[in-house]
Structure formats: C-alpha cells, structure tokens
Amino acid sequence: MAIDFKIPEHVQQQADMAKMAAEFMMRPVSRELDENEHARPTAFAENMWPVMRDMQKKTLDRLSTPPDAEKKPERQSTSNLRLMLMIEMLSWGDAGIYLCLPGGALGGAAVEAVGTPEQKMRFLKRFAEGEVPAWGAMAMTEPGAGSDTSAIQTTAVLDKATNEWVLNGEKIFCTNGKLALEESDGLVIVWASIDRSAGRAGMRPFVVEAGTPGVKVTKLEIKHGIRASDTAAILLENARIPADNILGSPEVQREGGGGFKGAMATFDATRPLVAASALGIGRAALEFLKDTLSENGVDVPYGQPYHKLTAIQRDVIEMESQLNAAYLLTLRAITLLDQRQPNNLESAMCKQKAGKVVTQITQKAVELLGMMGYSREWLVEKWMRDGKINDIYEGTGQINTLIVARRILGYSSKELG
C-alpha cells in the first residue's frame, strides 16, 4: 500500500464505455425528457438492462460460491471504483436518466448491506435474470419525517396468525417507486417502526415486492430538476408481506440502536455514489462552459499569476479546483470502501462537498453564459436544476455537515443535535 492515484486500465475502459453510452444514448434525449416530465427513457433502460443484469448476476454468483472455492490472494476490490466512475459518466450524460438505470439501486444496496444470504438470493434474483428490466427503490421519507427519521409514522405489526407483517403509512419522495412497484417486477425497501415507543431503535427496513395488495402509488412529484426520474408517493394500507421480509433483527434492542444503526451504514456506501453523480453534472457544466468560452475567444491558462487573469478565467479556475477537490474526496471515500475500511466520516465529507460544489458550479456556469446559459436551448440551465438535488437527497448538506462535526468531535447525536 502506498499513496497512489492510478486508475486501473480496465476500470478506465469501463468508464470510457459509460461515457459513450452517455454521449449517444442520453445526451440526444436529454432535453426532450426534461420537457416531458414523467416520460420514460425506455430505450436507455432496455439497452442498459443486460449490462446491469449481468453485473448483479456476478455478485449473486459469488454469493452462491462457497468462499473457499475462490480464495484468491487479498486484492483490493475495484467494484465501488467502477461504480463511481460509471455513475459520474452517466450523470455527465444526464443525471435524471441515470437515475432510471434498471437494477436494485438503493433498494438493492440495502439488501446487499444487511440482508441474509437467503434474502439476497430471494430478492436480488429479479435483478440478475430475465429479458425485461426491473427496478428497486428505497422509501424512507414521509410528509412529516425527512432528515429526522425517528419521526417516521409508518408502522409494521407482526400478525402472528398468518406470520405476516402488516404495514400502514405514507411514504413520499421515493425515487423510481412507480417503476419498482407498478411497472416492473421490482421491490421497494420501506422503513417502518416495529415499536413506536423505541424511537430510532424500533425502525426497520422491509422488503415490499411489486404486486403486494394494499400498496399504491398515489402521486408522481413535479420537480425542479431530474425530471426524467420519477419521484413517487406511496400509500400502504394494511399491506401484508411475509415475516422474513424484514431486513435485520425483528427484536428491538434499546441500547446501541439495534438493527437501525447497521442499516444506516448503507449510507456510507451510497453517499459517495450520490457525490459521483454530482461530479458528473459538475463536469458536464464545466466542460461545456470551457468549450463555449474557447469558441468565443476566451481560453483559460493554468499557471498564470492572479493579476494576469480576467474575472471569467478566475471563476473557471476556481470552479475547476473545487470540482477536483470534490472528486478526490469522493475517490477517497470510494477507495476506502473497496479496501473494506471504515469510511463514515469520509463519505459524509465527500457528499457534503460534492453537493455544494455542483450547486455552485452549475449556477456559475449559467451566470457566465448569460442569456444563453439561461436559455432552454442549451442544457446548462438544466444541469443547474439537476445538480441541486445532490445537495438535498441522501442527507442534506447540513445533515452531512452534522455527521462530519460529530465524527471529528467524537460526539454522539445526544451531545450534538
């Protein structure tokens, strides 16, 4: 081990392929899907399905292979690095369409992170086989519970007679909820309380499969950006699911947060991926800005003293170094994952920085390009609208700052609320 920034060649090749997909499958329909909210990027989903399906199949195959059979010398995994660069490139193409990528997504990630081997096989198989795409989703937020997940009202009660959980409540802001529940044989991870008096310790993720009676998509949000991606509201009315669709222990442990704490650890894996998407949008805006400036006779030199730069050149240099900072913080969080090292602090840091940077870069790009930046003729204004969500979902910038603060100070959530 040593400090090293070399991206392995096979990983870079995959990223280059993702960039091709972004250029030829996403950019051409980017504007059209933005203007026609709730239309589906069908061609993209169908084209990407075999890729995503085979990736999922590989992870499941590894699961069913006895560990001894493939005991290789300990090598650093590249799976998270590959995912990061792929997401960055696809989001460079179109962040809204990227979110429609078929597969388990956040729902699958939760199953991977805390599911038993049996659960992984049972739930993830649908993302590893078949000719038509399937989607997974995560439903945590409620009208009265955003960052404060202890305020979740949805309940899960075990009906011992039928050995089923009975779910009741309302979920909102569920990315791909409709694709997962009504337009494919997918699944949604629904967070519900098994003991309202236990607060966070009573919270558990449940797997709700498509076609479950009592589950209904009631609304698709109309949004500022990422309009190609559906954001669903879901109503659960006496929705019955098998007893072993609970992820983690059904017992409430009041000390140490119980199963909830373990499940929250999935954020350490998903936050850098949101950061990666932010990086892609930021890169799209910055590249376009530089190309356009160059076509208009303004090039940005690197190495000139400050007093020899114009205001626009200074802005671009600032944007570029900010983006690079966010990229490296994300690369670090991802690399730690691949090295199986703890990354709670680093993942919150990269998400906070990338969310902020993409917001600032895209807003600045619109400003610098004047009326054409503001025009819907170009995609810059869209990137500004798409970028902002990265400072909000998967923990707002403020929540991630709070996590960083707690970590560096060694404080619990009681000591620093």
Annotated catalytic residue: which of 112, 346, 394, 415?
A: 394
Least Å distance, CB 101 to other proteins, is 24
One symbol per residue from 332 to 361: x for binding other proteins (CB under 8 A), - otherwise; what is it?
Answer: x--xx--x-x-------x--xx--------
Tell me if 320 contacts other proteins by CB under 8 A.
yes
How many whole angstroms separate alpha carbon 129 and alpha carbon 334? 28
One symbol per residue from 275 to 314: x for binding other proteins (CB under 8 A), - otherwise; what is it?
Answer: ---------------------------xxxxxxx------
Tell me if 413 contacts other proteins by CB under 8 A.
no
Tell me if 274 contacts other proteins by CB under 8 A.
no
Write the CB contacts of 96 (distance below 8 Å, at least 6 apart in sequence). Answer: 33, 34, 225, 226, 227, 228, 229, 386
Tell me if 324 contacts other proteins by CB under 8 A.
yes
Write out the two tokens for 133: 């795409």
How many whole angstroms separate alpha carbon 246 and alpha carbon 140? 15
| Of residues 64 and 341, the one with the C-beta less far from other proteins | 341
Tell me if 3 contacts other proteins by CB under 8 A.
yes
Least Å distance, CB 341 to other proteins, is 8
CB 240 within 8 A of CB 159: yes
Tell me if 15 contacts other proteins by CB under 8 A.
no
First to last CA, the chain: 38
Among the listed residues 8, 28, 143, 250, the single contact to other proteins using CB under 8 A: 8
For CA atoms 382, 347, 111, 138, the dihedral sign is negative
How many whole angstroms separate alpha carbon 189 and alpha carbon 77? 27
| Segment lying near other proteins (by CB under 8 A), choices 92-100, 141-149, 174-182, 330-338 | 330-338
How many CB atoms sit inside 10 A of residue 376's CB? 11
Least Å distance, CB 2 to other proteins, is 4
Alpha helices (H) in 99-225, listed in sequence order: 105-114, 117-124, 177-181
Least Å distance, CB 55 to other proteins, is 20
Least Å distance, CB 273 to other proteins, is 16
Tell me if 161 contacts other proteins by CB under 8 A.
no
Least Å distance, CB 384 to other proteins, is 23
Q: Segment 375-394, which members bind other proteins (CB under 8 A)?
A: none
What is the chain's alpha carbon radius of gyration, rounded to the nearest angstrom?
22
Tell me if 7 contacts other proteins by CB under 8 A.
yes
Among the listed residues 325, 374, 378, 396, the single contact to other proteins using CB under 8 A: 325
Tell me if 409 contacts other proteins by CB under 8 A.
yes
Least Å distance, CB 314 to other proteins, is 9
For CA atoms 287, 332, 52, 397, the dihedral sign is negative
How many CB atoms sit inside 10 A of residue 207's CB? 24
| Of residues 152 and 336, the one with the C-beta less far from other proteins | 336
Among the listed residues 42, 321, 375, 413, the single contact to other proteins using CB under 8 A: 321
Tell me if 1 contacts other proteins by CB under 8 A.
yes
Least Å distance, CB 6 to other proteins, is 6
| Segment lying near other proteins (by CB under 8 A), choices 172-180, 191-199, 260-268, 320-328 | 320-328
The structure tokens 């059904």 sit at 250
Q: Is 295 a catalytic residue?
A: no
Distance of CA 413 to the CA centre of its chain: 24
| Of residues 43 and 409, the one with the C-beta less far from other proteins | 409
Among the listed residues 36, 42, 65, 76, the single contact to other proteins using CB under 8 A: 76
How many CB atoms sit inside 10 A of residue 238's CB? 12
CB 348 within 8 A of CB 271: yes
| 3-state SS assignment for residue 7 | coil
How many whole angstroms separate alpha carbon 389 and alpha carbon 376? 19
For CA atoms 139, 142, 145, 146, the dihedral sign is positive
Write the CB contacts of 337 (distance below 8 Å, at least 6 apart in sequence). Answer: 80, 268, 269, 272, 343, 347
Instruction: List residues with catalytic annotation.
Output: 394
Interacting residues with other proteins (CB under 8 A) = 1-8, 76, 78, 81, 302-308, 317-318, 320-322, 324-326, 328-329, 331-332, 335-336, 339, 341, 349, 352-353, 398, 401-402, 404-406, 408-409, 411, 415-416
